[in-house]
Structure 1
Amino acid sequence: MRSPSSTVVVLAGAVTDAVVGELGRLPNVQALRLTGEGAPPVREVLGAASRPFLVHDLDPLAAVARAWSGYFDDPSTAGVLRVEVASALSAFAAGESVLPDYYLVLGAETLEPRAAAWWLGVLAATAPARVVPVAATTAAVRQALATLPAGRGWPDPAGWLPELHLRVPDHAGLVGPGGVTSLAR
């Protein structure tokens, strides 16, 4: 499904049409909004990618993130979290979805604490080089694309997604310019 010649980057956080549109004008970037009405299926987009970077806004873990956050608001929703994790793992196994090479988290400094704990805590702790906080501007995203860090890829999702209920938001460390810091402000 995935084109081996493209680095797949998901934009998360404060994503705007303007940033995606400006990125799409770069010769080495194919940038798309895949979350809107009438968007092509991600499978087609990944299979047809031909530029060095494929940048889009369709997070394969969005439903898992919502369920994880909801679980800590109301523990009786543990079943919802289990269902979303199982659904994500099934989509990964079937090749209907893939984790991106990188997440660029736009406007990370403005995220609500729970979202910050997800992006910069849970995900960044799982694969530190794969989650990059970036200012919500085209220039910052361009710079981030040009300087993406090398590092280990994502571990097998089947090894860490089922354990999400153990990752408590208030204890998920945040990754920032100086490394891991506490969620407490």
Structure 2
Amino acid sequence: MAVSSGTVVALVGGESPELIAELGALRNVDAFTVADGDEDAASLRINHSQASYIVSDADPLAHVAAAWVEFFDDRVTLETLEFEAQAAVDALRAGRAQLPDYYLVLDPESVEGTWRHWWFGALSRKAPTRVLPVASSSWEVRRQLRRLPTGRPWPGEYAEWLGRLQFEVPDRLVG
């Protein structure tokens, strides 16, 4: 499967659908929201886009994130977290999904509890400049797109770091 040559950005948190619709009006930005359960169509669109920036709410780790949060909030078992992590690894390795180049976390001050530890701890520890806080406004997101930092890429061996998420204890990750 072809991989996009543009910069892939996942907008997460906040009111992303409205913001994504605004960004879609910009030149050289392919912006779209993912319909429930239509991750395959999102992956195809990302991989075939010719835009400089591909902005969406597509997150190949969404189920892993939810399982991680619920695991540490004592709502699911370790087996659920392991299952979701393995499903993500399989999709990433098979090319059915790809990690975005950047996660822009909208309205970071409103992210509470274990979710805050996911975005700014467990996930950002793997590639610190790839998970960025940003205010939930079209102007702020456009500004951030123009100033995306470079840094180390996501670890290539997904199974290793996703398979060890149960050891990424929230209280030890972020203040």
Residue 94 of structure 1 aligns with which residue? 94
Q: Residues 1-185 of structure 1 correspond to what in structure 2 (within 5 A)?
A: 1-36=1-36, 41-74=41-74, 77-156=77-156, 157-173=158-174, 183=175
Aligned residues: 174
Q: Is the 8 A contact 2:70 2:76 kept in 1?
A: no
1:162 to partner: Cα distance: 0.6
CA distance in structure 2 between the aligned counterparts of 1:20 and 1:38, rounded to whole angstroms: 17
Superposition deviation, residue 40 in structure 1:
7.0
RMSD over aligned Cα atoms: 1.8
Q: Distance in 2 between matches of 1:169 and 1:94?
A: 30
Q: Shift of residue 36 of structure 1?
A: 4.2
Confirm or deny: 8 A CA contact 2:4 2:50 kept in the other structure: no
Identity %: 41
Moved more, 42-51 or 18-27: 42-51
The structure showing larger relative contact order (alpha-carbon pairs under 8 Å, at least 6 residues apart) is 2
- In the aligned structure 2, how far is the partner of 1:45 from the partner of 1:2? 10
| 3-state SS, counterpart of residue 41 of structure 1 | helix
Q: Where does the alignment leave 5 or more consecutive residues of structure 2 unmatched?
A: none
Structure 1 residues 41-50 or 88-97, which shifts more? 41-50
Q: Report the Cα distance in structure 2 between the residues aligned to 1:92 and 1:30, rounded to whole angstroms.
A: 22
Looking at structure 1, the residues matched to 126 and 153 of structure 2 have their Cα atoms a distance apart, in angstroms, of 9
Query: Post-superposition shift, 1:22?
Result: 1.0
Which 5+ residue runs of structure 1 have no aligned equivalent?
A: 174-182
Amino acid paired to 2:165: L
Write out the 4+ residue segments of structure 1 that deviate beyond 3 Å after TM superposition: 1-4, 35-40
Of 12-21 and 109-118, deviating more is: 12-21
Greater shift, 34-43 or 16-25, is seen at 34-43
